[in-house]
Amino acid sequence: MAFTENDKSMLEGYIASARPFADMYSVKGRVALVTGGSSGLGFDITLRLLQGGARVMMASNSRIEEEAAMSLLEKEGYKDSVKFCFTDVRNEDEVKQLVDHTVETFGGLDIFVNSAAIWNYAKVYDLPKEDLQLVFETNVYGAFYGVKHVSRYMIDHEVKGKIVLISSNSPIMPYPVFGGYPHYASSKAAVMGLTTEAAKELKRYGIMINSIAPGGMVTPGAAGNLASENISEEKQDEFYEELMIWQVDGQLPVDQVGMMAYTFCTDVADGITGETVVVDGGATHNIVKYQVAIDAFPEES
């Protein structure tokens, strides 16, 4: 088939419309809101957004984390471009106030990253109702309230914004080996569903929403993650013994996940919405460094 002048013109069009790569990957001049932004993955995303040129409202419900995170970021030279707002994402009024406060502080809102989440360990047949409620109110309701009020602002002010929700690979690759957080995995599956459905509603307004599903990472939250205090000490000890068995691939560097979240906040991701991208080093495809020892499992009778 001959290569025509029209074909050449099409390629010239590609060149003419190709924006500078540095501009595509920058968030300079934009305003971002990061819930759960004062620790772990949320802190890493906050840092990357600041490095990319954004002004960031960092939110969490921990004054201790606020003091540590703000002092570290100010030391890095971001005193004027990052602020903190104490917020309990389980409370819809507080989330709305957070969005309003972000706009009042920085004059707008272009990016929303929901990284606020909690979890603990308990088997489904032992799981106390209060643990189920707390995890869902934080991980699902909190994400929903954020998407609701951020998107409302973006629609009303014709902002073609970016929304990124942090999910988990746990709904599609349950772990540890013997389970332990069905409430957490269920809550993160709900976040995936929220991502897809919200994308259907928001695309017409130019708002793109995606989620990231990380594997295990080394974070302060993960390091301090314990069995439910509402189950017996015997069951807690039993779970910790099972937990020690789980080790298939090591821990994913937090920044590998943070950089994917950052990318979704940029114009590089203009053509992606409604997606959940798994960032776990291939673990969900059984691409792992190690294999669980056969003697870790009981023999069949």
The mean per-residue pLDDT over the stretch 72-88 comes to: 95
pLDDT of residue 232: 77
CB-based burial label for 299 (10 Å; 0-12, 13-18, 19+): exposed
- Asked if residue 296 belongs to a domain, the reply is no
Most confident of 103-112, 123-132, 292-301: 103-112
Q: Is the pLDDT of residue 248 over 70?
A: no
Q: Which of 121, 184, 187, 262 is catalytic?
A: 184
Q: Is the pLDDT of residue 220 over 70?
A: no
**Is 87 within 8 Å of 61 (Cβ atoms)?**
yes
Locus of tokens 């792992």: 288
- Asked if residue 295 belongs to a domain, the reply is no
pLDDT of residue 32: 98
pLDDT of residue 173: 79
Helices (H), 118-248: 129-136, 142-156, 182-202, 220-223, 233-243
Q: The domain that contains 75 carries what CATH number?
A: 3.40.50.720
The mean per-residue pLDDT over the stretch 254-258 comes to: 91
Of 256, 264, 210, 275, residue with least CA distance to 24: 264
**Is 190 within 8 Å of 140 (Cβ atoms)?**
yes
- Asked if residue 298 belongs to a domain, the reply is no
Most confident of 52-61, 119-128, 245-254: 52-61
pLDDT of residue 207: 98
Of 118, 110, 109, 102, residue with least CA distance to 61: 118
More confident residue, 171 or 95: 95
- Asked if residue 188 belongs to a domain, the reply is yes
Total domains in the fold of the chain:
1
Q: Is the pLDDT of residue 203 over 80?
A: yes
- Distance from C-alpha of 288 to C-alpha of 242, rounded to nearest angstrom: 20
For residue 32, what are the β-bridge partners?
56, 111
The mean per-residue pLDDT over the stretch 192-217 comes to: 94
The mean per-residue pLDDT over the stretch 41-60 comes to: 96
pLDDT of residue 268: 95
- Asked if residue 89 belongs to a domain, the reply is yes
| 79 given a catalytic annotation | no
pLDDT of residue 216: 67
Q: How far is CA 187 from the centre of its chain?
A: 13
Q: Which of 115, 153, 188, 262 is catalytic?
A: 188
Question: What pLDDT band is residue 60 in, cutting at 50, 70 and 90?
Answer: very high
- Asked if residue 288 belongs to a domain, the reply is no
| 167 given a catalytic annotation | no
- Distance from C-alpha of 114 to C-alpha of 17, rounded to nearest angstrom: 32
**Is 82 within 8 Å of 50 (Cβ atoms)?**
yes
For residue 82, what are the β-bridge partners?
56
- Asked if residue 287 belongs to a domain, the reply is no
Count Cβ neighbours within 10 Å for each residue of 87-96 and write b for 16 or more, e otherwise: bbbbbeebbb
Q: Is the pLDDT of residue 238 over 90?
A: no
Q: Is the pLDDT of residue 71 over 80?
A: yes
pLDDT of residue 297: 64
Question: What pLDDT band is residue 245 in, cutting at 50, 70 and 90?
Answer: very low
pLDDT of residue 174: 64
pLDDT of residue 284: 79
Locus of tokens 């949320």: 42
- Asked if residue 193 belongs to a domain, the reply is yes
Question: How do 208-214 and 31-35 pair as beta strands?
Answer: unpaired
pLDDT tens, position by position, 96-113: 999 999 999 999 999 999
What residue numbers bound the domain in which 226 lies? 21-280
Percent of the chain with pLDDT over 90: 62
Average pLDDT over the chain, rounded to an integer: 88
Q: Which of 168, 170, 211, 228 is catalytic?
A: 168
